[in-house]
Amino acid sequence: MPDELLEARGLDAGYGRVKVLWGAGLTVREGESVVLLGANGAGKTTLLKVLLGLLPAWSGSVALAGADITRLRTDHRVRRGMAYMSELAVFPGLTIDENLRIGGQFAEPRALRARMEELYGIFPDLAHRRRALAGSLSGGQRKMLGVAKALSGSPRLLVMDEPSAGLSPLFVSEVIEVLGRFRGGGLALLVAEQNVTFLDLADRVYTLDGGRVGFEGTVEALHADRALERAYFGLK
Q: How far apart (Å, rounded) are the C-alpha atoms in residues 64 and 228?
A: 30
Window contacting ligand ATP (CB under 6 A); options: 12-20, 56-64, 149-157, 198-206 = 12-20
Cα gap 210→177, rounded to integer Å: 31
Distance in Å, CB of 20 to ligand ATP, minimum: 4
Please tell me whether residue 197 binds ligand ATP under the rule CB under 6 A: no
* Beta-bridge partner residues of 161: 192
Q: Does residue 46 belong to the site contacting ligand ATP (CB under 6 A)?
A: yes
Binding to ligand ATP by CB under 6 A, coded x per residue (else -) over 86-115, reads: ------------------------------
User: What SS3 class is residue 83?
Assistant: strand
Smallest distance from ligand ATP to CB 131, Å: 32
Minimum distance, C-beta of residue 197 to ligand ATP, in the bound complex (Å)? 13
The Cα–Cα gap between 93 and 215 comes to 40
Longest dimension (CA), the chain: 54
Q: Establish if 202 lies at the interface with ligand ATP (CB under 6 A).
A: no
From the DSSP assignment, how many helices (H) and strands (E) are in the chain?
9, 10
- Which residues bind to ligand ATP, rule: CB under 6 A? 15, 18, 20, 38, 40-46, 194
